[in-house]
Amino acid sequence: MTVTATSVGQSDPMPPQAAPSAWRRWLVRFVPAAAAVLSGLLLYVSFPPRTLWWLALPAFAVFALLLRGRSWKAGLGLGYLFGLGFLLPLLVWTGVEVGPGPWIALAVIEAVFVALVGAGVAAVSKLPGWPVWAAALWTAGEAARARVPFSGFPWGKIAFGQADGVFLPLAALGGTPVLGFAVVLCGFGLYELARVSLEARRTGTVRRVAAAVGALGVAVPLVAAVAARPLVSDTAEDGTATVAVVQGNVPRLGLDFNSQRRAVLDYHARETERLAAAVDAGRAERPDIVLWPENSSDIDPFTNADARAVIDRAARAIGAPVSVGAVVGKDGKLLNEQVLWDPAKGPVDTYDKRQIQPFGEYLPLRSLVGAINDEWTSMVRQDFSRGTEPGVFTMAGTGVGLVTCYEAAFDWAVRDTVTDGAQLISVPSNNATFGRSEMTHQQLAMSRVRAVEHSRTVTVPVTSGVSAIIMPDGTVSQKTGMFVADSLVQEVPLRSSRTPATRLGVLPEVALVLVAAGGLGWAAVTGVRGRTRR
């Protein structure tokens, strides 16, 4: 048989290197994108109810790996994917009752801030000492996210995932900005150490300056956290008070609990009267202060005689002042109000919630939202109005600062109560609309960070759980289950000293934002000079 020259060794239908090159191009695009999403997911896993706070460090190390040396445009895209990987699962509770639309829209919008941080980190990653500039940029992104749009949404600040972590004492030093900055810096420092080590193994040369930057990026936050521990104390400075946190529960989960407003009020009155019976029988300590949750009386007790009688009866039974969460109409305004109820005098003081929740307590862009889905506008028929003054009730001689639910996420709203004389803080909340989601655990972690930040006992009365009493060192001394009626009674320390974080207020955040701006400015100048030389 004859074999012709053309029967063997014919050319392939495509050049030998074409398929591998296409495959490599696909990998170059896909792998970093997938890694950005997965590292964002890793950051989410570091948040409560899990106690895996340390996972934030490798999450930011991978984030640094993805961004270092890239263009700002690549950083923008990878930062956005990192933000989606983090925020989509973190905020899933926002769609529990209203569907996936608002949840996805919120995460998509909030991830834009992370995208801008990613672009900035990529830009400064070529500078000496880049982990410092990059970590400051993350803090600047959180600062922006806490203020815009619609007065901001600080949920998911890195500090709020560190209630069980070794960095927590830094909250007392400089608040949530310093705590979050330290965690991010440590993660970026870990990456820099790993990068320098691998490069030294490959080349046999150690870049000492880069190694020092990485080592300091890890060591300084850890050493600072240890040095800040003396700022954390649960010692009583102004004596003690016995507080009772009442969780009455709700008739059913979800948004429909609002149709059972009288039942919710009756449940909280009944639990308070049950506690009073236990006190009279010697089975519980008599409280000096009784704290009810937000929305424990959605019936206005100032205009409804039945509601007033129910609260009066409960307050007289327990024989102590009660802080009642009520929805109140006043001068044509709708207010989310805490009412100080004296067992003998009735209502004697009020606090109106100042940081109200967009799309929950008021509806921005109402006509536009109605055009998209008119069912959403029906959920917020009338907008709540904002209060203007910090709330500190004097209850049995104790200054009790009021921080209503969503306000606990905002640095200024908590600090104002302490500078206005709060010796302990109460965070009355209503989480019934979010079912058994992670929301209540995330919010409880915020209160733990606030306890350390301002060195105050923090009580968390919630309609349906988890209610808790938190010591000034951030430990949870008592807590309830979810969707059960219960009450917590405990003698807690009262404190009046101010931590550095309380005294400094917004200054640490401003300083870090200026550092971030300085890094971006330096990177811009360096980039212009580089193009000029070419």
HSE-up of residue 130 (Cα within 13 Å, Cβ side): 21
Give the span between the Cα atoms of 406 and 355, in whole angstroms.
7
DSSP SS3 for 67 = helix
Give the span between the Cα atoms of 289 and 66, in whole angstroms.
52
Task: Supply the pLDDT for residue 96.
Answer: 79
Contact present, 406 and 388 (Cβ < 8 Å): no
* Widest Cα–Cα separation across the chain: 116
- Contacts of residues 28-34 at CB distance under 8 Å and 24 or more positions apart, as own/partner, are 32/66, 32/74, 32/78, 33/77, 33/78, 33/81
Q: Are strands 346-352 and 333-342 parallel, antiparallel or unpaired?
A: antiparallel
Give the span between the Cα atoms of 251 and 266, in whole angstroms.
10
Question: Which two structure tokens, joined as six digits, stand for 103?
Answer: 């949840």
Q: How buried is residue 172: exposed, middle or buried, by Cβ count under 10 Å (0-12/13-18/19+)?
A: buried
Give the span between the Cα atoms of 44 and 47, in whole angstroms.
6
Q: What are phi and psi of 22, to 5 degrees?
A: -65, -40
The active-site residue out of 142, 157, 192, 353 is 353
Task: Supply the pLDDT for residue 204.
Answer: 83
Tokens 């495959």 — which residue? 23
Give the span between the Cα atoms of 69 and 526, in whole angstroms.
14
The active-site residue out of 271, 405, 407, 509 is 405
Q: Which H or E run contains 373?
A: none
Q: How far is CA 163 from the centre of its chain?
A: 11
What is the identity of the amino acid at 257?
A: F
Q: In terms of Cα–Cα distance, which of 349, 291, 284, 351 is closest to 315?
A: 291
Contact present, 183 and 217 (Cβ < 8 Å): no
Q: What are phi and psi of 109, to 5 degrees?
A: -70, -45
Task: Write the Ramachandran bin of 142: left for phi over 0, alpha for psi from -120 to 50, otherwise beta.
Answer: alpha
Question: Which two structure tokens, joined as six digits, stand for 468?
Answer: 């808790």
The active-site residue out of 142, 271, 294, 407 is 294
Q: Is 361 a catalytic residue?
A: no
List the beta bridge partners of residue 424: 400, 457
**Model confidence, pTM:** 0.91
Q: Where are the alpha helices (DSSP H) in 373-429?
A: 374-379, 411-419
Q: Going by C-beta distance under 8 Å and a sequence separation of 6 or more, which residues neighbour residue 528? A: none
Task: Supply the pLDDT for residue 379.
Answer: 67
Q: How far is CA 479 from the centre of its chain?
A: 20
Give the span between the Cα atoms of 183 and 405, in whole angstroms.
26
Question: Which two structure tokens, joined as six digits, stand for 454?
Answer: 């301002």
Give the span between the Cα atoms of 56 and 53, in whole angstroms.
6
Q: Is 186 a catalytic residue?
A: no
| Secondary structure of 282-333 in HEC code, one letter for each residue | CCCCCCCEEECCCCCECCCCCCCHHHHHHHHHHHHHHCCCEEEEEEEEECCE
Contact present, 85 and 39 (Cβ < 8 Å): yes
Contact present, 341 and 347 (Cβ < 8 Å): yes
Task: Supply the pLDDT for residue 255.
Answer: 46
Contact present, 56 and 126 (Cβ < 8 Å): no
Give the span between the Cα atoms of 457 and 472, in whole angstroms.
5
Question: Which two structure tokens, joined as six digits, stand for 191?
Answer: 């990456």
Q: How far is CA 44 from the centre of its chain?
A: 12
Q: What are phi and psi of 243, to 5 degrees?
A: -110, 150
Instruction: Report how far apart the first and last C-alpha atoms of the chain are (Å, whole number).
Output: 65
Q: Going by C-beta distance under 8 Å and a sequence separation of 6 or more, which residues neighbour residue 201? A: none
Question: Which two structure tokens, joined as six digits, stand for 24?
Answer: 């490599």
Tokens 């009730």 — which residue? 393
Q: Is 273 a catalytic residue?
A: no
Give the span between the Cα atoms of 45 and 86, in whole angstroms.
9
Give the span between the Cα atoms of 366 and 374, in whole angstroms.
10
DSSP SS3 for 228 = coil
Q: What are phi and psi of 252, to 5 degrees?
A: -155, 160
Tens of pLDDT, residue by residue, the chain (534 residues) = 444 444 444 444 555 554 567 777 777 778 999 999 999 999 999 999 999 999 999 999 999 999 999 999 999 999 999 999 999 999 999 887 777 888 999 999 999 999 999 999 999 999 999 999 999 999 999 999 999 999 999 999 999 999 999 999 999 999 999 999 999 999 999 999 999 999 888 888 888 899 999 999 999 999 999 999 999 999 999 999 999 999 999 986 544 444 577 889 999 999 999 999 999 999 999 999 999 999 999 899 999 999 999 999 999 999 999 999 999 999 889 999 999 999 999 999 999 999 998 888 888 877 676 666 666 666 667 888 999 999 999 999 999 999 999 999 999 999 999 999 999 999 999 988 888 889 999 999 999 999 999 999 999 999 998 999 999 999 999 999 999 999 999 999 999 999 999 999 999 999 999 999 999 999 999 875 555 555
